Structure 1
Amino acid sequence: MNDVFVTTADWRTGKALRDIRQRVFIDEQQVPEDLEWDALDETATHFLLYRAEQPVGTGRLLSDGHIGRIAILPEHRGAGLGDQLMRAIIEHAQAQGMDELLLSAQTHAIAFYQRLGFSVCSEVYLDAGIDHQDMCWKASDQVEHSLADIEFISPGRFSILNPDTESEQATRYPEDDPALTPLNEGNAQALLNELVTACRQQLLVFAPEQAAWLFKRRDFIGACEALIARNPKAQIRILLQSVDPEFLSGHTPLALAHRFPSLCQVRRQHPDLPLQAHVQVISDDRGFLMLPKARQRDGFVRRDSADQAKRWGDRFNELWASSQTDPTLRRFLL
């Protein structure tokens, strides 16, 4: 589902986090407010699950590997969103070097967490008046079992139908949302260049070092140069999460900042803020490109999405306000 993705969120500005937990835990499950809101929220890594551009699920990860506050809004349950949310949190935890995870599960959800590799590790106990059991997850236990060999019998000759490339690329998802175009490795470069070409004033790029295959390209650099040529007052802002030495060489967006320092700025996200899994491009106040998981080369593009461009543009500006000029970047730009 290209319209579903998970991202980390800042607790201090994460109104959606609190709204979802208010509805699910306090309003629906009658958890007392003084138990729901605790001091751990200030230091936890929080996650938001978006569906069709709306935040519909949340969860948090503590520094000791405890996962909690997993909630999906009632009207969005039954679509596998909880599974996607949990897998994103587990993936994030492993990226942070956490090989053992813990959670306190309501007993009715035990089977759900078991399917994700968790094992029950306590007796039943009451928490906020609801039956719970502790569950544990270890990376060393997540062993994929090899499939048994099967006997293959050739069906003989058969015809192969190669789908028409143009019609395949024109397919949109979902069918009732023609403004969304699925992005994959085959069409990503063309869609990105199209988005930059449509830009007139401001281009925001978040974490391009996570998708070097897309941004370390001469055609992307050329599209940005064309934007500057079209509008000498255009602004390109590029926010990195980490300064990868490999990203500093070759056809890199950093070269734009070196050549056009007043028009193109490159900074690094504040190191105390949680890392994000996604990559984004926001073109003016309408165009939007998202790779929900940088490691996976698929996502979507919206050419006219004012709401999404504003929401993520505001989030970009928050990160930019606390960002830094990394020493490595400073040396590169001198």
Structure 2
Amino acid sequence: MNEIYVTTVDWINGKAVRDIRQQVFIDEQQVPEDLEWDAEDDNATHFLLYYQQQPAATARLLHDGHIGRVAVLPDFRGKGLGAEVMQQVIAFAQASGMHELHLSAQTHATAFYRKLGFSITSEEYLDAGIAHQDMYWQSSDQSPLQLPDIEFDSPGRFAIHNPDLSREPVSEYAGETDGMITVNDDNALPHVATLVSQCRRRLRIYSPEQARWLFNRLDFNNACESLIAREPLARIQILLQSVDTDFLQGRSLLSLTHRFPSLCEIRCQHPDLQKQKYVQLMTDAQGFFMQPDHRVRQAFAREYSPDQVKRWADQFDELWGSSQSDPAIRRFLL
């Protein structure tokens, strides 16, 4: 799964999204163009899935919880990409406070959506000449994923390594170690501080200027200072999308770069690269926090999510590699 990552794009800059929908719906399924392109696109959240750095799948989410335009390019089918993009849409929707989702599924795809927890709520009907059925998803109806049994041939005797259980106990705010924790304005700081308290080597923060309500707080700065104090080899990387003077002033992360320039670095994303709506924090190779849309103070966190961290950390590192030390940042550092 490390070769897959999903991002959100706005409609104006979503050429790859439009290309996928053009090929799948208009060219392949013969959907009329005047039905495929509608006014909802301007305000929808569009998801774009990359497979091996190539645009491969898309979906959109409306503000009322309707999911649509789910498409995977023919060359990338059979790899589970449709399920992956749908899971990201569902996670984003839940983090945005949506606990009931709706979609109009092509009848041949209802089994696919059933596996994701959707239920059929209508008889068949035609839409653009294709048989469809309405489907519904509710968070309270979902149960933990049950994995099938696997066959296992024992290799015989082998050494057993008992892990070190002496680490500090998990914070009361952490929830289940491998589960997704929904956070909001009221409880985000304790969850994020918990992730930072568990960090040992590397803390990555993306676009914190879009969430001053969280990252410009004294308690968060104190958590980062505690990380530096207990882990002298730790590295903090802060990547801004744009230089926001309100963010850089006062009790901001910039103060850490003043005091610990060799351990904490702040840069600005290359101006030619597309701006994103999300805010992220990643600790080492496992802790993950994401606010999918900075305009909505809803987010989710996981203490142990190595696949997700790997997927997004690779993208962060790529952006970091092309980032710049903005002159405005340097002026504030002087």
Q: TM-score, normalised by structure 2?
A: 0.57
The counterpart of 2:222, out of the listed 249, 255, 278, is: 249
Correspondence 1:143-162 to 2 at 5 A: 143-144=143-144, 159-161=157-159
CA positional deviation for 1:249? 1.8
1:104 alignment partner AA: S
Q: Matched residues in 2 for 1:256 and 1:276: separation?
A: 19
Identity, in percent, stands at 49
Confirm or deny: 8 A CA contact 1:50 1:57 kept in the other structure.
Answer: yes
Please, which of 297, 308, 311 is the counterpart of residue 305 of structure 2? Answer: 297
1:309 equivalenced with 2:318 (yes/no):
yes
Q: Which runs of 5+ in 1 are unaligned?
A: 148-154, 164-208, 225-236, 282-290, 326-332
Confirm whether residue 24 of structure 1 aligns to residue 32 of structure 2.
no
Secondary structure at 1:123 match in 2: coil
CA 1:259–1:216: 2 relative to 1, 3 Å: farther
| Greater displacement, 60-69 / 249-258 | 249-258
- Structure 2 match to 1:39: 39
Superposed displacement of residue 159, structure 1:
2.7
> CA, structure 1 residues 75+238, in 2 after alignment: closer, same or farther (shift >3 Å)?
closer
Structure 1 distance, partners of 2:145, 2:206, is 43
| Letter of the structure 1 residue corresponding to residue 305 of structure 2 | R
The alpha carbon displacement at 1:11 in A equals 1.7
Name the SS of the counterpart of 2:70 in structure 1.
strand
Give SS of 2:143's match.
Answer: coil
**SS where residue 122 of structure 2 aligns?**
coil
Return the alpha-carbon distance in structure 1 between the equivalents of residues 80 and 220 of structure 2: 36
Deviation at 1:56, TM superposition (A): 0.4
- Change in CA separation of 1:37 and 1:301 when aligned onto 2, cut-off 3 Å: closer
Deviation string 1:57-98 (CA, Å, 9 cap, x unpaired) is: 000000000000000111111111111111111111111111
Q: Partner of 1:275 in structure 2?
A: 278
TM-score normalized by the length of structure 1: 0.57
Indicate if the aligned counterparts of 2:7 and 2:49 stay in contact, CA closer than 8 A: yes
Match of 2:31, SS? coil
Partner in structure 2 of residue 117 of structure 1: 117
- The Cα of 1:220 is off from its aligned counterpart by 4.8
Number of the residue aligned with 2:188: none
SS of equivalent residue, structure 2 residue 57 = strand
- Mapped to 2, the partners of 1:73 and 1:239 lie a distance apart of 31
Q: Which amino acid aligns with 1:73?
A: L
Return the alpha-carbon distance in structure 2 between the equivalents of residues 80 and 278 of structure 1: 26
Partners of 1:124 and 1:132 within 8 A in 2: yes
- 8 Å contact from structure 1 (residues 7, 278) kept in 2: no
1:218 deviates by 7.9
The alignment of Structure 1 onto Structure 2 pairs a total of residues equal to 239
User: How far apart are residue 142 of structure 1 and its match?
Assistant: 1.1
CA distances 1:112-153 after superposition (whole Å, capped 9, x unpaired) = 111111111111111111111110111121134999xxxxxx
Q: Give the drift of 1:258.
A: 4.2
Are residues 22 and 143 of structure 1, via their aligned partners in 2, closer, same or farther at CA, if it must alter by over 3 Å?
same
Residue 44 of structure 1 deviates from its aligned partner by 0.6
Match of 1:104 in 2: 104
- Per the alignment, residue 130 of structure 1 pairs with 130
* Alpha-carbon spacing, 1:6–1:112, altered in 2? closer, same or farther (3 Å): same
Q: For structure 2, list consecutive stretches of 5 or more residues without a partner in the other structure.
A: 148-153, 162-190, 226-235, 237-252, 270-274, 291-300
Alpha-carbon distance in 2 for matches of 1:248, 1:266: 20
Determine the C-alpha separation between the residues in 1 that align with 2:111 and 2:192: 35
User: What's the Cα RMSD here?
Assistant: 4.7
Partner of 2:71: 71
Q: Aligned pair in 2 of structure 1 residues 280, 214: CA closer, same or farther (>3 Å)?
A: closer
- Structure-2 separation of matches of 1:217 and 1:52: 29
Q: Matched residue of 2:2: which SS?
A: coil
Is the contact between residue 46 and residue 60 of structure 2 (CA under 8 Å) also seen in structure 1?
yes
Q: Is the 8 A contact 1:56 1:76 kept in 2?
A: yes
Distance in structure 2 (CA, Å) of the matches to 1:74 and 1:257: 48
